[in-house]
Chains A and B, each alone.
Chain A
Amino acid sequence: MRPGRELLPGLHMADDADLKPLPLDGLHRRLGARMVPFAGYAMPIQYEGIIAEHNWTRESAGLFDVSHMGQILLPPGDDAALEGLVCGDITGLKPGVLRYSLLLNGEGGVLDDLMITRRADDLYLVVNGAVKAADMAVMRAAGLGVDYREDWALMALQGPRAVDVLDRLLPGVAALRFMRAAGFAWAGHDLWVSRSGYTGEDGYEISVPAAAAEALAEALLAQPEVKPIGLGARDSLRLEAGLPLYGHDLDPATTPVEADLAFAISKRRKAEGGFPGAARILDQLFNGAARKRVGLAIEGRLPAREGATVWAAGRQVGIVTSGGFAPSLQAPIAMAYVETPLAGDGTALEIDVRGKRIAARVVPMPFRQKNYVREGQQG
């Protein structure tokens, strides 16, 4: 057996010597994690096993180290200039509110997907680890005052028990709602806490000074509801939630409309344009794009992975960009780009896996209902 014709997304072979350790490196190794190269860092892929960790997150609370992601501050007055790079309404963003947005190139292709929060004294951005250097180069070239906070760690606490656990340590976080954020103090350190995540579960993302990261992680892991979760389960959780992974489901040749992320184009921006590739994106928005990202439910148990081709009536009509076995559904699922006339829910398609044609059907995403606690909701 030789592992890994299709490795976990983003998992590329590299010399360990080239890998940078993140603030929680020592903790991961003490916890028995299997460490792998990811986005230029050594990261934990799993502790006790991907399926067990996946299920624990769905049932209780999982702690994820996502310190490879880029945390960036911009001066508050850079909001209008930032709108020249992304398709979201940033000038209209209220303090303490997160916005999912897309950094675009001149052809309307997606350079990254990111979270933008307005805070009292700055704009706080979280971008993907693998492309953070390129993102910052684009922002600097546009004259933005980029302050890269490499001295902060980022962790996520996700799952139905996350709210109880975190409110025990940080009284008051239970009052935050989905896509809202605020500052909290813990053991003399300033934390920035957002009610958001990448699993489809309720939960939080916590920005913490690197020097305090291990103590905070230990305090969270000391709670009986919490276990550490690796990148493997992070990928299966986000796939079930229908959330795209940059570099796989999104890339510079793909527009927000093709990616079925048109919700990220704010209403005012649709009316005004003025973002990179606006002419092409608005044309696709009103007239349709040739292809579209869809969810596929797969018959049987054989997973279809990134790169597998999608077929209809003997003709290739698309390609799988993410796929795997969904532990919560006990079945294989995939995301694919297919020709738009074949993107309707229920459309029967075939996927080629090593020369075998397996039956698949277009289904709505998320594959599994999300459990967010939104504004105006109790709990």
Chain B
Amino acid sequence: MSRLYTQDHEWIDVDGDTATVGITDYAQGQLGDVVFVDLPEAGRAVSKGGEAAVVESVKAASDVYAPVSGTVVESNPALAEDPGLVNSAPEGDGWFFRLTLSDAAELDGLMDKAAYDAFIASL
């Protein structure tokens, strides 16, 4: 299982035909204090690059995009109780949702960690 990244600062862990999605530590630092996460319901179809969730910080509502197309299996129930997990553990317990991939070939265009680190260093 390897972690891949998008230019919109989502991460995706792929395990077979399912994947877990969240936002990166860089993204949470840009957002500041997260107070609510509007997550997709199980069964919702999302498409690569399309809106999948909304993360509300004190200052702004920001869209979170699906790194790949698929069907949402589950959203992180812990974020309802403690949205601050997105700040404290963005790439761990603060994950957003899991989905089943509809087209594994869409993963090809995503960045690995080295490429993503170089990308944010260039911002």
Contact surface of A with B, Cβ cutoff 8 Å? 1-8, 11, 45-46, 49-51, 54, 232, 235-236, 301-303, 305, 324-325, 327, 332, 354
Contacts and interface: CB of A to CB of B under 8 A. Distances in A.
23 contacts: A1-B10, A1-B27, A1-B55, A1-B64, A2-B8, A2-B65, A3-B31, A3-B60, A4-B60, A4-B62, A5-B63, A8-B60, A50-B32, A50-B33, A50-B59, A232-B58, A236-B58, A301-B83, A302-B36, A303-B35, A303-B56, A303-B61, A354-B38
Contacts of A302: 36, 38, 56
A3 B27 CA distance: 9
Contact of B62 (A5, A303, A332, A354): A5
Given A1-B65, A6-B60, A50-B57, 10 more contacts: A1-B27, A3-B31, A3-B60, A5-B60, A232-B32, A301-B35, A302-B56, A303-B56, A324-B59, A332-B35
B8 A1 contact: yes
Contacts of A49: 32-33
Contacts of B63: 1-2, 5
A5 B61 contact: yes
A332 to B, nearest CB: 8
Contact of A305 (B33, B61, B80, B83): B61
Interface of B: 8-10, 23, 27, 30-33, 35-36, 38, 54-65, 80, 83
A50 B58 contact: yes
Contacts of A235: 59
A6 B59 CA distance: 8
A5 B54 CA distance: 10
B64 to A, nearest CB: 5
A275 B6 CA distance: 57
A325 B23 contact: no
Contacts of A8: 59-60
A1 B9 CA distance: 6
What are the 4 closest A-B residue pairs judged by CB atoms, nearest first? Answer: A325-B35, A3-B62, A50-B58, A51-B33
B62 A2 contact: yes
B59 A327 contact: no
Nearest to A236: B58
Contact of A51 (B8, B55, B58): B58
B23 A46 contact: no
Contacts of A11: 59
B54 A7 contact: no
Given A51-B33, A302-B56, A303-B56, A1 B23 contact: yes
A45 B83 CA distance: 22
B62 A46 contact: no
Contacts of A354: 38, 54
A368 to B, nearest CB: 16
A66 B27 CA distance: 28
B39 to A, nearest CB: 11
Contacts of B80: 301
A245 to B, nearest CB: 14
B59 A232 contact: yes
Contacts of A325: 35-36, 56, 58
A18 B8 CA distance: 27
B60 A7 contact: yes
A232 B83 CA distance: 19
A276 B58 CA distance: 38
A178 B111 CA distance: 57
Contacts of B54: 354
Given A301-B35, A302-B38, A1 B62 contact: yes
Nearest to A46: B32
Given A1-B9, A354-B38, A327 B58 contact: yes
Contacts of B27: 1
Contacts of B30: 3
Interface centre among A4, A45, A332 (most CB of B within 10 A): A4
B59 to A, nearest CB: 5
Nearest to A48: B32
Nearest to B22: A1
Contacts of A232: 32, 58-59
